[in-house]
Amino acid sequence: MIAMSDLFRISLRQVVRQRNYGVVLSIALGITAYIVLAVLGREIRYKIGQDMVLMGGVNVINVLMTDSQYPGQPVREFYPETVRAIEGLPGVYMVSRNIRNNVSFNLRGEGERSLQVSFIGVDEYYAETFSLEAVAGRLLTAEDVSGRRRVCLLGLDAARDLYGGAGQSLGKFLFLDKEVFEVVGVITGVMLGSQRRGGFLPITSMIDRNWGGGKVTRLYVRATGWEDVAGLVKLIPDVVRSHQAAPYVRLETQEDQLKRIRFTFMWVESLLWLGIAASLMLGGFGIWTGTFAAVRARTREVGLKKAMGGSDADILAQFLAEALCKAVTGGFLGIIVGALLVETGAALLDTGFSYGLLATSSLASIVFSAVIGVAGGLYPAIQASRMDVVTALRFE
């Protein structure tokens, strides 16, 4: 039996000299796509998902106490323990407390402007839960909330209507029910909606004054990803009830949007995997036909080698090794390109990636491509090894 070192040296030489790179490239393509998807898939999905998902507010779950709709019921609020328990659930990114009912004040603006502005009570997590940003000043801080301070935020439209711009409204004092509140920031964001015309007070400040009922009657639960929403919707009511009485707790999600996004993602993802599978299959098929073609084109060579004493196993090993070399060369190429893409992709998406995952998927790729090489090359190689010597020698 031919020595392994010779076998692979000769096979590699053949592969290089035949210049049959189509097969190598197609396998490389498949492996590249596989590596990128395997290593960065989660991050890509999250990143692409985030914009899409947040615009629809799809991964925010509203948890409401609806007691007020039932006559005779006491109005219940969410206890801090309940909030902490929800925060501890897997898949929960953050929980923001909110007072469902708003409170309206007639405000005096610049000049003779006057405006009815409705305020809601929020905490320091509100802005991040809805991906809001401060266009001027700052967001509410934990100190604002725990210190029960007399500060407030304005929506961008409210700030413009009252003072003609975001910057101008900073530091202004608002008279709310004869008390003075300082405007410390102006916020905006896609998900803010009509509340852009409103204002925001620390929940504690509202509770102290019994504004809007003075109770935390709503939680905004932001899930880490949209995939987590369904599971959380099932879990949250039980978690709430295990910490407090909450007979009329209700959950609201963007069911339709969620469905649509789930559907879109399923399609995108299955198309991607289909592409990978197709390109790998193309490579395998290329190896299959390529090896067949090689066997046919080199029938005479097979005859000559058998005549000089090459055994069936030698011939089999040679064609198989060539197929394997092509496939694994493609695999290595794919890994290199894939790793580079992962690096740049991670930099572009501004996320990290797991080197362990890269290593395992590279290993899997090598195994993959070897399997493709063997699977594609085995049958033609067996055919070659079984070939009758004289038939092969008489072949021109």
Partner 1 sequence: MPVILARDLHKRYAGFDPVLRGVDMEAEAGEMVAVMGPSGCGKSTMLHILGMLHAPDSGRLEILGTDVFSLNREQTAAFRRVNMGFVMQSSNLFDHSTVFENVEFPLIYEGIPPKERWERVIRALDLVRLTARVHYRSNRLSGGEQQRAAIARAMVNNPRILLADEPTGALDVRTSSHIMENFRALCHCGGVCLVMVTHDPKMAEYCDTIYTLEEGVLHCRKRELKEIAAPAEGWESALAANEWSGEGDIPPVPEQRGILGFLKSLLLEK
Out of 10, 75, 230, 282, the only residue in the binding site for partner 1 (CB under 8 A) is: 10
Structure tokens at 388: 């009758």
Give the shortest CB-391-to-partner 1 separation in angstroms: 10
Residue 14 contacts partner 1 per CB under 8 A: yes
Report which DSSP code applies to 225.
S
The CA distance from 74 to 46, in Å, is 41
The CA distance from 364 to 236, in Å, is 39
Residue 18 contacts partner 1 per CB under 8 A: yes
User: Nearer to partner 1 by C-beta: 94 or 389?
Assistant: 389
Structure tokens at 157: 């439209």
User: Nearer to partner 1 by C-beta: 213 or 290?
Assistant: 290
Residue 16 contacts partner 1 per CB under 8 A: yes
Out of 3, 112, 350, 352, the only residue in the binding site for partner 1 (CB under 8 A) is: 3
Residue 390 contacts partner 1 per CB under 8 A: yes
The CA distance from 349 to 351, in Å, is 5
Of residues 304-323, which lie at the interface with partner 1 (CB under 8 A)? Answer: 304-314
The CA distance from 146 to 123, in Å, is 9
Residue 382 contacts partner 1 per CB under 8 A: no
In this structure, the strands spanning 179-188 and 199-202 are unpaired
Segment contacting partner 1 by CB under 8 A, of 15-23, 98-106, 256-264, 272-280: 15-23
Would you call 117 helix, strand, or coil by DSSP?
A: strand
Residue 2 contacts partner 1 per CB under 8 A: yes
Cα→Cα distances 337→28, 291, 340, 344, 345, Å = 8, 26, 5, 11, 12
Do residues 64 and 182 touch, judged by C-beta distance below 8 A?
Answer: no
Segment contacting partner 1 by CB under 8 A, of 110-118, 184-192, 294-302, 321-329: 294-302
Binding residues for partner 1, per CB under 8 A?
A: 2-3, 6, 9-10, 12-14, 16-18, 298, 300-301, 304-314, 389-390, 393-394, 396
